[in-house]
Amino acid sequence: MRPPELKSGTADLTKSTSVESKPNHPINIPMTSLLFSTFEVARQAFYKSSLSYAIVNIKPIVPGHVLVIPTRPVLRLAELNASELTSFMHSVQRVGTVIERAYGADALTVACQDGKAAGQSVPHVHFHLLPRKAVGDRYSNNNDAIYPALEEGEDNLASDLAKPQTREPFKVDADEDRLPRSLEEMEQEARWLRTFFEPDEIMYLP
């Protein structure tokens, strides 16, 4: 199967991928509730352990930009207990491995604004994971440029989550003037990503 088209601006995830997916996975689990702070994100979720989960981003900076979040809503890393922290870090590693392969990347940018003074806008600690390419990445000629973009994206995350937009067709938007994606767009990407995980890695999804 062919990988999704990952040009610097957009990726069409309706196309097949070179990473073997698992079409028989139970991806149609009924959604109930999953909160990122006070925001309902169940339809954006594509991975969940017992103590942490991952969601697609409403305004990805690069194709495959996702968030990994502990299930219990705490502001700071230091507030997680040992079991929660272990699960959280394992999820960062596991999700990072999957999205790097799924999006044909060579590396990852992993970032956490741990507290309001560090730029955190949603009061629920989380990691940003961004697949990166040695060639063809919009930041490959200036790696440090991704950090101001990430900071700006974090600044707007709470307001973007509160007001998702409706637009078609579905694409992973990585344009400078990108708009918040619709719930339908995010759900489509999330369901695609679920096919790369084992059944026990998505069975906890609400």
User: Has 64 been labeled as part of a binding site?
Assistant: no
For the cut 70, the answer to whether the pLDDT of residue 99 exceeds it is yes
Closest CA to 136 of 110, 171, 104, 179: 104
Q: What is the DSSP letter of 138?
A: T
**Beta pairing partners, 12:** 5
Give the per-residue pLDDT at 1: 36
* 129-142 average pLDDT score: 91
* 17-30 average pLDDT score: 45
In this predicted model, which residue has the larger pLDDT, 77 or 179?
A: 77
Domain ranges of the chain: 5-21+29-135+175-193
- Give percent above pLDDT 90 in the chain: 59
Closest CA to 187 of 164, 162, 158, 157: 164
Confidence (pTM): 0.78
User: Has 165 been labeled as part of a binding site?
Assistant: no
Cite the active site residues.
126
User: Has 128 been labeled as part of a binding site?
Assistant: yes
User: Has 24 been labeled as part of a binding site?
Assistant: no
Topology annotation, domain 5-21+29-135+175-193: HIT family, subunit A (3.30.428)
In this predicted model, which residue has the larger pLDDT, 158 or 50?
A: 50
